[in-house]
Amino acid sequence: NSTVAFKKKMSQTLSLYQESIEKINQSLRFEYSIMDELFTFIGEKFNRYYVWTAMVFTTTGKPFYYYRLSKHRSADELFEFNLDLPKVNGVFCDEAFAYDKIYGSKAIQAKGVMTNIIENLNSQMRDKIAYLVRRTKAHAKSVEWLDYRLARFFINKNLGG
């Protein structure tokens, strides 16, 4: 059955993303990260989901890319995302409600070049994943499908694509 085969492919892709992130975190040292979040819809307009994104830079300046898909935009969700990220000396972020709660003095909340860098990543995601395009009727039909598309995008980014 093609549905079963595709669900298996989705599961393998999500596992590959998790395994690659674990290997990256264990084998490299990191200096700082840039974080942001964007929202999309699953099914209906009232069913909002958030995509937390992070670009984490090694001590040599190479970026690696992380994401988390969540139902809520809260300090708890940011905390959970933070558990997947490597430790860094500084976090560039916007002035959203939760970053200073989670990162304290490590949070550098200012508009500037770093904001442009993470917004460029958001733009690339919107270009490659139709479900994330603003003002569209093409919302993801399921959380699993969107998670799969995000995992593919971030695996590709981390492999240099």
**pLDDT, tens digit (0-9, with 9 covering 90-100), for 107-123:** 998 778 888 999 999 99
pLDDT digits (tens, 9 = 90+) for 42-95: 877 778 899 999 999 999 999 999 999 999 999 999 999 999 999 999 999 988
pLDDT in tens, 14-38: 999 999 999 999 999 999 999 999 8
Dihedral of alpha carbons 118, 123, 128, 134, sign:
positive
This prediction's pTM: 0.90
Q: What is the rounded end-to-end Cα distance, in angstroms, of the chain?
A: 31
